[in-house]
Amino acid sequence: MTSFEDEEQTQDYLFKIVLIGDSAVGKSNLLARFARDEFYPNSKSTIGVEFQTQKMDIEGKEVKAQIWDTAGQERFRAVTSAYYRGAVGALVVYDISRRQTFDSIGRWLNELHTHSDMNVVTILVGNKTDLKDAREVSTDEGKALAEAHALFFMETSALDSSNVKSAFETVVKEIYSILSRKVMISQEQRKQESASLVNGKRVILQGEAGETGGGSRSWCCS
Q: Is residue 82 part of a domain?
A: yes
The predicted model gives 75-92 an average pLDDT of: 81
Q: Is residue 198 part of a domain?
A: no
Residue 116 one-letter amino acid: S
Q: Which domain, by its residues, includes 93?
A: 12-179
* CATH code of 99's domain: 3.40.50.300
Q: Is residue 52 part of a domain?
A: yes
Counting residues of the chain whose pLDDT is more than 70, the rounded percentage is: 69
Per-residue pLDDT reduced to its tens digit, 175-202: 999 988 877 665 566 655 555 555 555 4
Find, among 98, 17, 100, the residue nearest to 56 by Cα.
17
Residue 8 has pLDDT above 50, yes or no: no
Stated as kind and residue range, the H or E segment containing 142 is: helix 139-148
Kindly indicate the confidence band of residue 50, based on its pLDDT and cuts at 50, 70 and 90.
confident
Q: Residues of 74-93 as b/e, b for ≥16 C-beta within 10 angstroms?
A: eebeeebeebbeebbbbbbb
Number of domains in the chain: 1
Q: Is residue 55 part of a domain?
A: yes
Per-residue pLDDT reduced to its tens digit, 127-153: 999 999 999 999 999 999 999 999 999
More reliable by pLDDT, 195 or 87: 87
* The three-state (H, E, C) secondary structure of 159-213, written as one string: CCCCCHHHHHHHHHHHHHHHHHHHHHHHHHHHHHHHHHHHHCCCEEEECCCCCCC
Kindly indicate the confidence band of residue 3, based on its pLDDT and cuts at 50, 70 and 90.
very low
Most confident of 2-11, 78-87, 132-141: 132-141
